[in-house]
Structure formats: structure tokens, C-alpha cells
């Protein structure tokens, strides 16, 4: 039996308001997914103050979401998600040798899809609010995709170049920073690098999706500490025929394995924000986020 890694993930979000809040409606995307290599073995949400209404559902992309409503006056809000997952350390197919399909042939095949197959993949081939078409980025991407190169090889090269050409700089960008600014400024964080990779690949007609998740906070002895390990993380999955969805982490220049924990999948960050909502009241709010990932 392949080795398994077990993790406990605590994702805590707090809002402190300068005035009284009388009502808030919130949507959470904090419950890890099941994948071919990952199983969610436990999940618990703790919300203070206690909401009057709480529910859950599975969204269009297969993510498990919680919704809640606090309908009485409060001055702070705390949402703590505790998850337990089990991840197989078995070798991934892209680590064991395979026939890499020519990228142009893959694009042609995607164009020919019809029916349910086209609908299921179509959302990941189109531009999204955070991954608009950008001529300069398309030209940058094409450097990694000369005629005849395999799709996996091209994606690996593009991932490597983003890692080399863009500086990982926490605080240099904000949630709504666009790919144009990131591309011009040549710096950002994991969310920005994922959006760059997505925008470039989609500009070629490929299917790629945004993955939000976590990294192991304290690496085992002899293993390097990965960038982005102190908070939630983001990477990309690309549809490679014969391999299904293959992950690429441009922040760390690697294909994710058992140290990456998948939380949610969407077109971009705004499909899978960990917590968002609206509130009715006066004053401003201050946000605090704490993430802890540890072997269970």
C-alpha cells in the first residue's frame, strides 16, 4: 500500500468592526475536496457569534460550501474551519513516464468537444474576471509552446519561466490586482502567478483551472520550505489527455504532490474565495486570517 499523509488544517478568519453590525450574510469555501489522491476524513465549522441560519451545498464546480447568516447585533465575527484530510503518496502518472500529446492537437480536440463534455470543460477554456486576454502575456506564453512540443512539456516550461521571471513578494499586490499590473511589475504572490499561468494557457485555447488550497506548514526533515506555506495557497491544473487534470505550482516551480492540500476549484480566485459576504451596519472592518497545517 502507498504511504499516506494525514493533515489537520485550521483556517481561522476574524472580522473586528468599528461599529455595531446588525446583520451579515456569508458564503464559505473552506471544506477540502475529495480528489483521486485526497480524502476528506473530517470537517467542522465554528462560528461566533452563533448564526441564526446555516446551511451547505455543492456548487457548479463540485466544491462544498457553507452559507450562514448572523441576524443580531455583533461587533466581531470569527469563523474557524477545522479539516482533516488523508493524501496518498503514490506516484502520480506524470512522474512515471507517459506519452506527452502535442499541444496543438489537444487544442483542436477541445474545440471539437460537444454536449456534456464541452459544457464541463468549457468554463475552464474561457477568460474569466481575473484572467482576461492579454496580448503581451499570450506572446510570453507562446515562447514555451513552439510547434511540436508536448502539452505537459510546454506547461512545465511556462511554469519554470514564471517562477524565474517573477519575484515572490508578499504585500506587493492585493486581491483585486489584475494580471496586467502583475505582468508589468514582475512580482506578486501565489494567486497572481496562478492567474498569469491561467490567462496564458487559456489564450492558447487550453483548459486550465484555478486551485485553492494549503501547503504543509512545517516540512519534514531534509525537505525545503515552500513559498506560500504560512497561508492559503493557489496553483493551476491543466487538462492533459491521458493524464486528466495535472497540477502546476508556478510559485514553487513544481507539480504538486502530497504536501499540497486541495480545498476548492474554479475559474479563478473569485470563484473560490474562502469567505465572502455582506453586512449591514456602521463603521469599518479589520480582517485577520490565520492558517495552520500540521501532520495529524
Q: What is the SS3 assignment for 152? A: helix
Q: What is the mean pLDDT of residues 132-150?
A: 96
Q: Does residue 59 share a domain with residue 133? A: no
pLDDT of 218 = 64
Mean pLDDT, the chain, integer: 92
Structure confidence by residue, pLDDT tens digits, 203-256: 999 999 999 999 985 666 666 666 555 568 999 999 998 888 999 999 999 999
Of 293, 272, 294, whose CA–CA distance to 61 is shortest? 272
Domain limits for position 182: 94-271
CA-to-CA separations, 126 to 123, 134, 194, 242, in angstroms, rounded:
6, 13, 15, 22
Task: Identify whether residues 123 and 47 lie together within a single domain.
Answer: no
| Residue owning grid cell 496518498 | 88
State whether 8 and 23 are in the same domain. Answer: yes
Residues 245 and 282 both lie in one domain = no
Cell for 36?
A: 483521486
**Whole-number pLDDT of residue 242:** 85
| Same domain, yes or no: 252 and 191 | yes
* Alpha carbon distance 70, 35 (integer Å): 32
Task: Write out the three cell numbers for 40.
Answer: 476528506
Pair 114, 147 in one domain: yes
112 and 38 share one domain: no
Question: Domain holding 22: CATH number?
Answer: 2.60.40.2250
Please report the pLDDT score of residue 97 as a whole number. 84
pTM over 0.75: yes
Amino acid at each position: 500500500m502507498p504511504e499516506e499523509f494525514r493533515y489537520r488544517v485550521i483556517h481561522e478568519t476574524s472580522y473586528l468592526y468599528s461599529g455595531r453590525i446588525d446583520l451579515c450574510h456569508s458564503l464559505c469555501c473552506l471544506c477540502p475536496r475529495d480528489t483521486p489522491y485526497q480524502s476528506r476524513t473530517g470537517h467542522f465549522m465554528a462560528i461566533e457569534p452563533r448564526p441564526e441560519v446555516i446551511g451547505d451545498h455543492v456548487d457548479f464546480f463540485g466544491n462544498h460550501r457553507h452559507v450562514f447568516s448572523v441576524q443580531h447585533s455583533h461587533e466581531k465575527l470569527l469563523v474557524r474551519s477545522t479539516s482533516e484530510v488523508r493524501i496518498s503518496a503514490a506516484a502520480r502518472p506524470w512522474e512515471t513516464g507517459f506519452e506527452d500529446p502535442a499541444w496543438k492537437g489537444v487544442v483542436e480536440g477541445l474545440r471539437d468537444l460537444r454536449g456534456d463534455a464541452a459544457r464541463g470543460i468549457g468554463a475552464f477554456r474561457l477568460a474569466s474576471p481575473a484572467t482576461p486576454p492579454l496580448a503581451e502575456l499570450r506572446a510570453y506564453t507562446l515562447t514555451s509552446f513552439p510547434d511540436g512540443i508536448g502539452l505537459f512539456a510546454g506547461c512545465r516550461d511556462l511554469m519554470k519561466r514564471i517562477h524565474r521571471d517573477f519575484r515572490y513578494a508578499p504585500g506587493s499586490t492585493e486581491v483585486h490586482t489584475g494580471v496586467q499590473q502583475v505582468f508589468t511589475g514582475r512580482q506578486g504572490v501565489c494567486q497572481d502567478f496562478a492567474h498569469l499561468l491561467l490567462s496564458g494557457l487559456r489564450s492558447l485555447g487550453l483548459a486550465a483551472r484555478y486551485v485553492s488550497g494549503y501547503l504543509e506548514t512545517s516540512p519534514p526533515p531534509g525537505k525545503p520550505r515552500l513559498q506560500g506555506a504560512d497561508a492559503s495557497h493557489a496553483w493551476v491544473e491543466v487538462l492533459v489527455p491521458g493524464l486528466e487534470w495535472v497540477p502546476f505550482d508556478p510559485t514553487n516551480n513544481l507539480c504538486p504532490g502530497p504536501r499540497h492540500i486541495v480545498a476548492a476549484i474554479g475559474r479563478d480566485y473569485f470563484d473560490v474565495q474562502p469567505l465572502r459576504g455582506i453586512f449591514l451596519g456602521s463603521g469599518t472592518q479589520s480582517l485577520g486570517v490565520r492558517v495552520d497545517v500540521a501532520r495529524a
